[in-house]
């Protein structure tokens, strides 16, 4: 549910204050902010990941007498490097940035999204969108690979924001909690029924999408309701430290390039699998948080560029 939630939230927040009339100046400002918050960090992290990972793979190649360097022995090494670094083709350490590539495409398509939502009724737009997404998934239409659940998540969030449907307008916990409990019941029902009923492919995928988006609504409503109740009664409701939240994007981007190195060290030294697993996780997390905190404190401009000015 995390990936659909990310793209749903991205679409919702992108169009949250969209003007009533189509305005290219509004889109121009949005594109400018997304350029610095998405495109620039994406390019820099791709380059950094390549710089960190390549020497490591060369050392492994020498140690094991095997070619771990993806662009060697290729007919077009420069093209191969470009595809790997910026498109994530054949280069594992950069795979985790796929969601930024996809989000950049969705942002570029946002004017078309606005026109479609404004032209069609909300219900018609969502029904057509989910049918298209299910068809692409079921029939595995390769050339429409980006029109999948991620695209629908972005469209769904965008459509709600464009139609001025607010998810955080309740000061009571009951609606959100009720929605959450009903969603849990639906998840249990779906899990049990799938063990005994052989759903048609289209219906099964549709039920999965309903489960995902119902869960998004439920979690969002419960969180906002709790925050609203906390404000009403002057209660502190910080589920995570603000400093850690501000580092989340940086942590996500920076942990993968060195994860393989840390994992390799633990594989050599740790005697038990459980120690290797939790040791790798703990050291990687501490490293990412410490590096983010260090850059934020002593090199704030560099940190701002790498994190897309998230603070």
Backbone angles phi, psi at 73, to 5 degrees: 60, 30
Rounded Cα distance, 154 and 206, in Å:
17
pLDDT of residue 31: 93
pLDDT of residue 32: 92
Instruction: For residue 253, give both structure tokens.
Output: 């981007």
Note whether 95 and 80 are same-domain residues.
Answer: yes
pLDDT of residue 108: 92
Print the domain residue range for 208.
Answer: 169-225
Note whether 70 and 127 are same-domain residues.
Answer: yes
Please check whether residue 85 lies inside any domain of the structure. Answer: yes
Note whether 18 and 139 are same-domain residues.
Answer: yes
Please check whether residue 230 lies inside any domain of the structure. Answer: no
Note whether 269 and 191 are same-domain residues.
Answer: no
Of 87, 1, 101, the C-alpha closest to 50 is 87
Cα atoms in the 13 Å half-sphere on the side-chain side of 254: 19
Note whether 82 and 196 are same-domain residues.
Answer: no
Instruction: For residue 257, give both structure tokens.
Output: 């390039």
Note whether 179 and 249 are same-domain residues.
Answer: no
Note whether 141 and 183 are same-domain residues.
Answer: no
Rounded Cα distance, 144 and 137, in Å:
9
CA quadruple 18, 23, 26, 30: dihedral sign: positive
Judge whether 40 and 308 are in contact, CB under 8 Å.
yes
Note whether 142 and 176 are same-domain residues.
Answer: no
Q: Count other Cβ atoms within 10 Å, centred on residue 173.
A: 15
Q: What does the chain come to in residues?
A: 311
Rounded Cα distance, 180 and 221, in Å:
8
CA quadruple 91, 95, 96, 99: dihedral sign: positive
Please check whether residue 231 lies inside any domain of the structure. Answer: no
Measured CA to CA in angstroms, residue 120 lies from 89, 113, 164, 167 at distances of 37, 11, 15, 21
Q: CA angle, corner 22, sides to 106 and 7, nearest 5?
A: 25
Rounded Cα distance, 291 and 48, in Å:
14
Spatial neighbors of 157 by CB under 8 A, at least 6 apart, are 7, 8, 9, 10, 11, 12, 13, 14, 15
Please check whether residue 212 lies inside any domain of the structure. Answer: yes
Q: What is the pLDDT of residues 142-154, one digit of tens each?
A: 545 555 667 778 8
pLDDT of residue 25: 92
Please check whether residue 276 lies inside any domain of the structure. Answer: yes
pLDDT of residue 149: 66
Note whether 108 and 126 are same-domain residues.
Answer: yes
Question: Given 114, 136, 165, which residue is the final one in a domain?
Answer: 165
Please check whether residue 182 lies inside any domain of the structure. Answer: yes
Please check whether residue 118 lies inside any domain of the structure. Answer: yes
Spatial neighbors of 284 by CB under 8 A, at least 6 apart, are 255, 258, 259, 262
Q: What is the pLDDT of residues 158-209, one digit of tens each?
A: 888 898 877 665 566 677 788 889 999 999 998 888 888 888 877 887 788 7
Rounded Cα distance, 293 and 288, in Å:
9
pTM: 0.72
Note whether 190 and 157 are same-domain residues.
Answer: no
Walk along the chain (311 residues) in steps of 10 and give the mean pLDDT of each run: 80 89 91 91 84 71 59 56 64 71 89 87 74 67 58 84 75 76 90 84 79 82 76 64 70 79 75 76 87 89 85 58
Note whether 269 and 215 are same-domain residues.
Answer: no
Question: Given 138, 165, 192, which residue is the final one in a domain?
Answer: 165
Note whether 78 and 196 are same-domain residues.
Answer: no
Question: Given 128, 146, 165, which residue is the final one in a domain?
Answer: 165
Q: CA angle, corner 263, sides to 286 and 57, nearest 5?
A: 115
Q: How many domains does the chain have?
A: 3
Please check whether residue 233 lies inside any domain of the structure. Answer: no
pLDDT of residue 236: 64
């Amino acid at each position: 549910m995390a990936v659909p939630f990310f793209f749903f939230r991205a679409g919702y927040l992108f169009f949250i204050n969209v003007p009533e009339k189509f305005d290219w100046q509004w889109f121009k400002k949005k594109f400018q902010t997304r350029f610095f918050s998405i495109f620039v960090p994406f390019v820099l992290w791709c380059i950094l990941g390549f710089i960190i990972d390549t020497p490591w793979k060369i050392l492994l190649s020498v140690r094991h007498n095997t070619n771990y360097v993806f662009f060697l022995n290729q007919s077009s090494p420069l093209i191969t490097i470009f595809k790997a670094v910026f498109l994530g083709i054949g280069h594992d350490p950069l795979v985790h940035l796929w969601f930024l590539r996809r989000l950049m495409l969705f942002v570029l398509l946002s004017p078309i999204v606005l026109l479609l939502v404004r032209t069609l009724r909300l219900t018609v737009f969502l029904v057509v969108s989910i049918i298209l997404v299910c068809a692409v998934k079921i029939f595995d239409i390769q050339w429409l690979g980006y029109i999948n659940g991620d695209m629908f998540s972005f469209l769904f969030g965008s459509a709600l924001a464009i139609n001025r449907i607010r998810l955080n307008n309740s000061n009571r916990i009951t609606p959100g909690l009720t929605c959450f409990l009903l969603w849990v019941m639906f998840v249990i029902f779906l899990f049990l029924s799938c063990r005994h009923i052989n759903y048609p492919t289209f219906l099964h995928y549709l039920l999965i999408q309903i489960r995902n988006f119902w869960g998004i609504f439920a979690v969002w409503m419960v969180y906002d309701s709790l925050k609203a109740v906390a404000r009403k009664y002057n209660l502190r409701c910080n589920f995570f430290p603000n400093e850690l939240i501000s580092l989340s994007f940086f942590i996500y981007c920076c942990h993968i390039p060195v994860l393989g190195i840390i994992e390799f060290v633990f594989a050599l030294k740790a005697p038990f699998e459980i120690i290797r697993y939790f040791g790798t996780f703990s050291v990687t997390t501490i490293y990412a948080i410490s590096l983010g905190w260090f850059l934020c404190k002593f090199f704030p401009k560099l940190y701002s560029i790498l994190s897309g000015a998230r603070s």
